[in-house]
Amino acid sequence: MAEIVLDKVTKRYPDGALAVSDVDIEIADGEFLILVGPSGCGKSTTLNMIAGLEDITDGELRIDGQRVNERAPKDRDIAMVFQSYALYPHMSVRENMAFPLRLAKVDNQTVNQKVDEAARILDLTQHLDRKPANLSGGQRQRVAMGRAIVRDPKAFLMDEPLSNLDAKLRVQMRTSVSKLQKRLGTTTVYVTHDQTEAMTLGDRVVVMRGGHVQQIGSPQFLYEQPANLFVAGFIGSPSMNFLPATLENGGLSTPLGAFPLTDRIRLLVEGANAPREVIMGLRPEHFEDAALVDGQSTTFEATVDVLESMGSDKFAYFTVEGETATSAELEELAADAGSADLTDSGAQIVTRLSAASAAKQGTPLDVWFDADKVQLFDPADGRNLTYSG
Amino acid sequence: MTRTLDRPVARRAERKGLSEGKKAERKLGWMLCAPAALVMLAVTGYPIVYSVWLSLQRYDLRFPDQRQFIGIDNYVTVLTNSYWWMAFGVTTLITVISVAIELVLGMALAIVMHRTLVMRGLVRTVALIPYGIVTVVAAFSWRYAWTQDTGYLADLFAPGAALLTERVPALGIIILAEVWKTVPFMALLLMAGLALVPDDLLKAASMDGASAWQRFVKVTVPVMKPAILVALLFRTLDAFRVFDNIFVLTNGAQQTGSVSMQTYNNLIKGLNLGIGSTMSVLIFLAVALIAFLFIKVFGTAAPGGADERKR
Ligand SMILES: Nc1ncnc2c1ncn2[C@@H]1O[C@H](COP(=O)(O)OP(=O)(O)O)[C@@H](O)[C@H]1O
Ligand SMILES: [Mg+2]
């Protein structure tokens, strides 16, 4: 049980690379905190600094109010689960899980009792005498978890613990990790590059980019009130649609047509000192087949490129004529998603329509969108002009 | 009747196990290995067999007329000879002590080379210099260094004493020369082993509460055990045949001769082919026994070895 505070923590590697810069995070006792961001953004470095595996260049790390910058990993009483599991290949599952207790000179009987208990929780009882090499990926992952929980540490640190599992197992293990953490109530910092994991697991999520914290908040809050273009594009699947737009006399002119701003948005935009040229963001679920909506003020017509029916709803993809929105953040997101060179003519937008929609691939459709759900971003620095958090 | 029936069936089933392609591949494999295997047989098999043959004869080049097949008489002669056992003891002593020291120093050097971040190439090159120097040349420089009155090391540590003519100090100098020469080789083999230990494993051990020494003893050493065993095996086999250093430093005086020295004295100096060959065969058997023991230990201890896969 512990409260962990990162106070202006900075990491500069000996080769000069600035991996983490001025990170401020307060992790409450018992909280499940997620660090998420594209690969190379400094998540592992941050975690390793909390663990004590990397020195902190600048700033202070406090555990339960005490500065621990100079403390060795073994004196921090924190357990870590690695992406590679890092199981000791020469030890059986039992010995692996008992290792931290043996080092702590716990007596034999207690060791056996704790290992058996952890094995029972993690469903490893019948594998205790096997070597890690003979276990499946999921079992190895559980042994790694077991080794972390046996000694009742102040906090768990997990660095992409599920990344080496196949998709189905990952979803299963996600649930068990979440249950386990709730049951033990131990402060946990969990690193992932997968936004779905971040959204489903954590009490709070920290989005990082290039060594900087972009935003900290509950998953729902980040989804609804992203602080900037990067968070908006990173959180959510399928991701938010971005289009270039122009603010003029109380309205917005966009490739989807011109429409007036709702009062709520106009107030926010005025307060934010917005430029004329902006980027409009709209989530897929804020579109609907116009035939299914009453009082359809904001609609546009476009041809359905691709239709994916998911049963409960339908995803319709359109190409919108005109320019595409450009900004450094969007390029980085596209690069991270591996879709950097997919830009052809016009902007791709993804919409989520009701299952009742009569949309057909290759035919035009009238589409409605919720003008009050529009988010506007400053293309220069990416900040959210409609942020009300 | 049943016999004639099930035979072809069984044979056909056997053939099914290996497809035509597999068979051709296997044949090609044998053919590609054959030249190397033949050359090996010629250059190693033949001398061994010939030595064994010679060791079973009374055959002294000074008295070629008395050449005669005498069975194991030569072995009885050698194995009941106190000089042989003295040399055997000296060899074992040199082997055990020098390999033990080499393992410790080699490991230390390997860790230094593994961990060095700056000028890695230079450090590794410098460390390897002793191994690159011809043993006899190095042995001569050790001899000069330890020679009474003129040698700088002798001056430094024992002015006035003739260390190379006293048994215990002479053995110490021989071991020193051996160690100096082969630590780099040991370090190189061990460094390959250190590279086998994933960083994550050591980080995990730190998190689990292990001190640097505990990480080394409980994680690094067990994980790199196969590499350690290989290094030990190579060095032990080598050390057991120690010759050049002794030849140059003491020439076997004051009972500092190894079994190889004895063999040399009988075979080349004494021209006694029978006894000399017997000694070579005995050295060969001793070396084979060492290798066998190591591989036995290996087979039971190597991770992923036969016994682990059984489970
Ligand atoms: N040991 C190191 N030396 C120098 N730079 C490093 C080292 N480890 C990581 N980096 C750099 O620091 C940045 C953050 O790395 P990391 O924390 O591993 O990212 P993430 O875990 O988010 O993928 C990257 O740009 C990476 O290249
Ligand atoms: Mg990482």
Buried residues in B157-186 as b, exposed as e (16+ CB within 10 A): eeeeeebbebeebbbebbbbbbbbbbbbbb
Contacts of B257 (CB under 8 A, 6+ apart): B86, B87, B90, B246, B250, B265
CATH code, B195: 1.10.3720.10
pLDDT of A71: 94
Residue with tokens 């494999």: B29
Q: Which atom of ligand 1 is nearest to the CA of A159?
A: 21
Residue A216, domain member (yes or no)? yes
Which mutation among A36, A41, A45 tests ligand 1's pocket best, with the greatest number of atoms within 8 A of CB? Answer: A45
If residue A201 lies in a helix (H) or strand (E), which one and from where to where? helix A195-201
User: What pLDDT score was predicted for residue A344?
Assistant: 58
Same domain flag for A186 and A321: no
Q: Are residues A109 and A32 in the same domain?
A: yes
The answer to the question of residue A384 being in a domain is no
In this structure, the residue with its CA closest to atom 18 of ligand 1 is: A44
Q: Does ligand 1 lie within 6 Å of residue A258's CB atom?
A: no
Query: A190 CA to middle of ligand 1, Å?
Result: 17
Are A244 and A222 members of one domain? no
User: Nearest C-alpha to atom 1 of ligand 1 is from which residue?
Assistant: A13
Q: Are residues A264 and A331 in the same domain?
A: yes
One domain, residues A99 and A171: yes
Ligand nearest to the CA of A159: 2
One domain for residues A304 and A221 = no
Residue B67 within any structural domain of the chain: no
Same domain for A145 and A48, yes or no, is: yes
Mean residue pLDDT across chain A = 92
State whether A38 and A106 are in the same domain.
Answer: yes
Whether residue B35 is contained in a domain is answered as no
The confidence band for A53, taking pLDDT boundaries of 50, 70 and 90, is very high
pTM (global) more than 0.80: yes
Residues of A in Cβ contact (< 8 Å) with B303: 89-90, 131, 133
Domain span holding position B254: 86-310
| Distance from the Cα of residue B288 to its chain's centroid | 10
Residue B306 banded pLDDT, cuts 50, 70, 90: very low
pLDDT reported for residue B16: 55
pLDDT exceeds 70 at position B307: no
Structure tokens at B258: 């190894």
Mean pLDDT to the nearest integer, A45-64 = 95
- Does residue A15's CB lie within 6 angstroms of at least one atom of ligand 1? yes
A118 and A252 belong to one structural domain: no
- Does B37 fall in a domain? no
Domain of residue A295 covers: 238-377
State how far the Cα of A353 lies from the Cα of B186, in Å rounded to an integer.
Answer: 69
Indicate if A93 and A149 belong to the same structural domain: yes
* Domain-ending residue, one of A209, A229, A249: A229
Q: How distant is the Cα of B209 from the closest Cα of chain A, in angstroms?
A: 4
**Domain identity same for A80 and A171:** yes
- What CATH number does residue A178 fall under? 3.40.50.300
Q: How many domains does chain B have?
A: 1
B135 lies in some domain: yes
Q: Give domain status of residue B205, yes or no.
A: yes
| A383 lies in some domain | no
Q: Is the pLDDT of residue B2 over 60?
A: no
> 3-state class of B303 per DSSP?
coil
Identify the band that residue B296 occupies on the pLDDT scale cut at 50, 70 and 90: confident
Establish if A281 touches chain B: CB-CB under 8 angstroms.
Answer: no
Mean pLDDT throughout A68-97? 94
CA within 13 Å, CB half, A312: 1
Is there a domain that residue B223 lies in?
Answer: yes
